[in-house]
A and B are shown apart, each in its own frame.
Chain A
Amino acid sequence: MDEPGSPLRRSVIVVMGLMLAVWVALYFFSFNEARGQADPAQFSFRGQSAKVGKKVFQAYNCMGCHTIVGNGAYFAPDLTNIVDTVGPAWLAAYLPSAGTWPTEALLGIQIERMAEEGLIEQKTLAAYYAAYPGARERIEQRGGRRANMPNLPFRPGEIDALIAFFAYTSAMDTEGWPPAVEARAGIVRQTRESLHRRAGVLSDAPQAPRNPREAPAEDAAPGQAAVAEPARANALPDGEHLAASYGCTACHSTGSNRMVGPGWGNLYGSERTLSNGSTVKVDDAYLAAAILEPDRQVPQGYVPGVMPSFAGKLKPQELDALVAYIRSLAQGDR
């Protein structure tokens, strides 16, 4: 048995020193600029830098549910390549009301805006879907359904900053992780269908968006939904349906509780205090203006820039129908 201070024990300390030297050398090798690793300073979105995006990512402890480069919790998907998968417009459509998967109408609005600003090249949904198949899959299978993520109170600019950050992480070289999917399409489809059946959601055929407050497990079969729809909407031909398909109900509940935006129950006819201190009565004209130009008269406690403008998206009858639907929620039978 060797004693303290024996040559053998001393040699351990020498080896330790040697390994420390290897360790330090590896550090410099790892962060050598010649390596060409993505640099967050090169990424920004609508004037928000990837660095600010990383601060937002940390501030909401995104890693506490998701993973980034595989590290974090294992409760929700890895976000490293999310921009490559779904593109910036889908993220902009999803994040303001993360509790509900966005619908095609919401995505369309974001694509149009970003294309106008020159932030993305795709001008149409079809082009966007071709560039980001992940967005198509999400819209077609999940659109309008409840998502597991909570609604988060993002402040103006924070979502843009997150997009810049995810653009940076998507550009990173992570040495081939996660491994590419090489499974046969048939097996993937089969497994997906069987899982969707078990989860009580339907697969393949594009979904008619349904009331997002319904948990996926409570979703009805397609035939039942189609029958139920007209019966519910007899007084107002398509207001309720429009609200779902434009994704309004991702943020607005039909009760009086606040999700992201104000609840619609008993909204009509109430007095609202605006952020400039003045008060306004919620009537047809106010509602129409709020839908077309949501940032002009923002009520107290809400931030501008969260709700997209629906000007040019809604036909006049559709706008009327939506206003009438919101009005009906204050009058009546619910």
Chain B
Amino acid sequence: MFKIEYKTQRLALPFFVLMGVLFLVQAGFGFLLALQHNDPALLQGSLNFNVARATHLNLGVLWIIAGFIGALLWTLPLLSKKEVGSPAIAKLLFFALIVVVGWNVSTLWLAQEGNAGWWGDVPLFQEGLEYIEGGRITDTLILVGFLLFSWIVYRTLPPRRAWNEFHWGIALGVGGLTLVWIFGFLFFPEIDKQEYFRWYIVHYWVEGVWEVIHISIVGFLLVKLFNVSMKAAGYAVFWGISLVLLSGLIGNGHHYFWIGTPEVWQFWGSFFSALEPLPMILCFWHIYLDSHHDTRPIANMPAFLFLLGSAVFEQVGAGILGFTQTFALTNVWEHGTWVSASHGHLALFGTFGMLAIGAAYFAIPTIRNVKAFNQRLGVLGFWVMFVGVAGIALCFAFGGTVQVFVYRVLGLDWYGAEVHTAMALWKALMPVFALVFIGGAGITMYDLWTIGRRGSIFLDHDAAIDQDEMRRQLVHLPSPWSRRLRLFALGGWLGAMWLFGGIITFGLLSFNFDVVRAGDPTLPYVLAGIGYTGLWAVTIAFVARFHLSLAARRHWSTEAAEAGAPLERVAETA
């Protein structure tokens, strides 16, 4: 374990605390939404669904941004080998962020009164556009915050000539984040133009600059965790960023199929967004390579697991599920249903949320100067959250498939008695998984909050390991899943994920078949059943496999491993 090298890295801590608070509140709103899906009358009139949803979405963006700011304040000094520039502004930014959150959340409910605060064509208080519900006052506050943060980043970066790929990635990411936000200040009377520019923010954040930031931070944290060479990781960062931008720029076209823009987008959008998984495969591959760069035990397992979760959900949620619905012929059916939300939850929380939490697990022990901490709670929190969000996304996927059939194929449009009734099972399961997720979130945030503060069981891998504990766990070692994961096997796991992704894609495609359109849902239901179940099973099993194989390392004799003995034999003889 390493400690902070620059005292301004401590500035990250309040942002991580804020992240945790907002995250829990956001998850709570998600639970409320799940309940309202089951009983639409719940809190109707006092907290309508649309207000709760807007709050859920906005807090989701804000806590991830708080996490990003924390992650960057902590990593930038290490990357640039100097203190954070303008630390006073960083302190100011923290309070500014609290003000923004407070203002934003307290204006969203005005939608219940139909009060946008229109001043000419400027909605001062809230503007009722999905993901960017805040009004111009919120927009302006956020822009100021982004500019302040860009300034801090700029002041912390080395002179331009000394930039490596990581510096470029962070500069492009933070600069781009600020730049595309400006498109949120536009009002159009035309729906097609409004949607066209709304996706400039939403798409270019999550499938553009956020990914660029994601790649840079993941790359750097892997360097730190595994002592990979900066040059090798920089190579991956460069190609990751290039592929994100090359595929994602025109890939935005997958949002332009049905909003009133011309048909030609169906070609451009389908083609380029089908390429969007490429950088994710690169990232997935690299997290394997870097973690198998040597065979030393993982010093900080929760941090690594959240990074792994981030790369895996980026692959599965953003890459594979995104791929299934990115073609005009599949998108035409799933567009506007829960199927989108399945992809959205896995991709957004999975990729960016888990990265932010992972970064916090890296940073907080170092900031508190904790030499060793009990990692079991963090590992437990990861797994509970992982299963929780997977369950949520699975409900969305199956419920959405039913929704496509009942609503689009049969044309039954009475939500209260027809569409909701058909989806009832998946709606009923949603709050259950939401509670599981909140449980995991609570465990994780408690753990982060108390790392180094509560009495800890000694688990420093650089020092002696509790002998009894080790002997107890050794019993499980002969399990093949504790052995080293080979690159070939990694390819097999990835192939299996894509195979099930292909089945899901074919299931969505099958809605075009005459027999399905005539009213027989067997084919899409069976394919969705196999595809989603299989993809989820493989994903969970893969993360378990990866986790077990790395967790077993701490039982291997490091000396033997360093002497070059094959890992399996080390494991067997240990």
A315 beta carbon closer than 8 Å to chain B: no
CB-CB contacts below 8 Å: B238-268 with A: 238, 242, 245-246, 249-250, 253, 256-266, 268
**Nearest chain-B residue to A59 (Cβ)?**
B116
Bound-complex Cα distance A65 to B50 (A): 5
CB within 8 Å of B: which of A164-181? 168-169, 172-179, 181
Contacting residues, chain B, for A199 (C-beta < 8 A): 416-418, 420-421
B130 near A: Cβ within 8 Å? yes
Does B227 sit within 8 A of A, measured CB to CB? no
**Is A62 on the interface with B (CB-CB < 8 A)?**
yes
Whether, in the assembled complex, A9 has its beta carbon less than 8 Å from a beta carbon of chain B, the answer is yes
In the bound complex, what is the Cα–Cα distance between A71 and B191 (angstroms)? 11
| Cα(A268)–Cα(B20), bound, Å | 54
Q: Kindly state whether residue B345 has any CB partner on chain A within 8 Å.
A: no
A31–B232 alpha-carbon span in the complex (Å): 44
Contact across chains for B250 and A73 when beta carbons are under 8 A apart:
no
User: Given known contacts A30-B256, A61-B108, A187-B410, what 8 new A-B pairs fall within 8 Å (CB)?
Assistant: A22-B250, A30-B262, A63-B50, A77-B407, A77-B413, A134-B413, A154-B114, A199-B416
Give the residues from 1 to 38 in chain A that come closer than 8 angstroms, CB to CB, to chain B: 1-2, 4, 9, 12, 15-16, 19-20, 22-23, 26-27, 29-31, 35, 37-38
Give a binary string over B115-147; 1 marks a CB under 8 Å from any A CB, 0 the rest. Answer: 110100101001111100100000000000000
**Does A239 make an interface contact (CB < 8 A)?**
no
Query: Which residue of A is nearest B413, CB measured?
Result: A77
Residue A273 at the chain B interface, CB threshold 8 Å: no
Instruction: Give Cα A158 to B53, complex, Å.
Output: 23
A292–B25 Cα distance when bound, in Å, is 50
When A and B form their complex, what is the total count of cross-chain residue pairs whose Cβ atoms lie within 8 Å?
253
Inter-chain CA distance A142–B234, complex, in Å, is 62
A212 to chain B, nearest CB (A): 13
Are B410 and A37 interface neighbours, CB within 8 A?
no
**Docked complex Cα distance between A56 and B263 (Å):** 29
B505 contacts the other chain (CB 8 A): no
Q: Identify which of B121, B192, B245, B246 contacts A172 (C-beta below 8 A).
A: B192
Query: What is the distance, in angstroms, from B278's C-beta to the closest C-beta of chain A?
Result: 13
Question: Is there contact, CB below 8 Å, between A61 and B422?
Answer: no
- Chain A positions within 8 Å of B, measured between CB atoms, are 1-2, 4, 9, 12, 15-16, 19-20, 22-23, 26-27, 29-31, 35, 37-41, 50-51, 54-65, 67-78, 85, 134, 138, 141-142, 146-148, 150-155, 158, 168-169, 172-179, 181-184, 187-188, 191-192, 195-196, 198-199, 201, 215-216
Residue contact B128 to A57, C-beta cutoff 8 Å = yes
Main secondary structure of the interface of B (DSSP, over half): helix
Taking CB atoms and an 8 Å cut-off, the chain B residues in 13-58 that contact chain A are: 36-37, 40-41, 44-45, 48-51, 53-54
Q: Is the CB of A69 within 8 A of B128?
A: no
Chain A positions within 8 Å of B341 at CB level: 74
- Please, which residues of chain A bring their CB within 8 A of the CB of B360? none
Contact status B264-A26, CB under 8 Å: yes
In contact, A58 and B128 (Cβ under 8 angstroms): yes
Nearest-neighbor residue (CB-CB) of B512 within chain A: A179
Known: A30-B256, A50-B189, A64-B130. A69 touches B195 (CB 8 A): yes
Task: Find the residue from A4, A75, A146 having the highest chain B CB count within 10 A.
Answer: A75
Task: A51 to B253: give the CA distance in the assembly, Å.
Answer: 26
Q: Which 7 A-B pairs have the closest CB atoms?
A: A64-B50, A187-B519, A181-B411, A70-B336, A61-B128, A61-B111, A177-B258
Within 8 A of A (CB), among B412-426: 412-422, 424
* Residue B164 at the chain A interface, CB threshold 8 Å: yes
Least distance between A329 CB and chain B CB atoms (Å): 22
A40 contacts B190, CB within 8 Å?
yes
Q: Which residues of chain A have C-beta atoms less than 8 A from B194's C-beta? A: 54
Identify B189's interface contact among A1, A40, A147, A151, CB under 8 A.
A40
Given A65-B50, A71-B336 in contact, is the A195-B257 Cβ separation under 8 Å? no
Q: Is the CB of B260 within 8 A of A174?
A: yes
Q: State A176–B332 Cα separation when bound (angstroms).
A: 9
Give B168 Cβ to nearest chain A Cβ, in Å.
9
> 16 A-B pairs, CB-CB below 8 angstroms?
A4-B164, A54-B194, A57-B128, A59-B111, A63-B129, A69-B191, A71-B130, A72-B130, A74-B336, A75-B53, A134-B413, A141-B414, A176-B332, A183-B518, A188-B410, A195-B417
Q: Mark contacts of B399-441 with chain A using CB atoms, 8 A cut-off: 1 yes-contact digit, 0 otherwise.
A: 0100100111111111111111110100000000000000000
Report chain B residues within 8 Å CB of A78: 336
A138 to chain B: closest residue by CB: B414
Residue B3 CB within 8 A of the other chain: no
CB within 8 Å for A75 and B262 given contacts A4-B238, A50-B189 = no
**Assembly CA distance A77 to B2 (angstroms):** 53
Interchain nearest-CB distance for B264 vs A (Å): 7
Select from chain B the residue with minimum beta-carbon distance to A176.
B332
In the complex with contacts A59-B118, A65-B49, A155-B114, A16-B245 CB distance below 8 A = yes
The answer to whether B195 touches A26 (Cβ under 8 A) is no
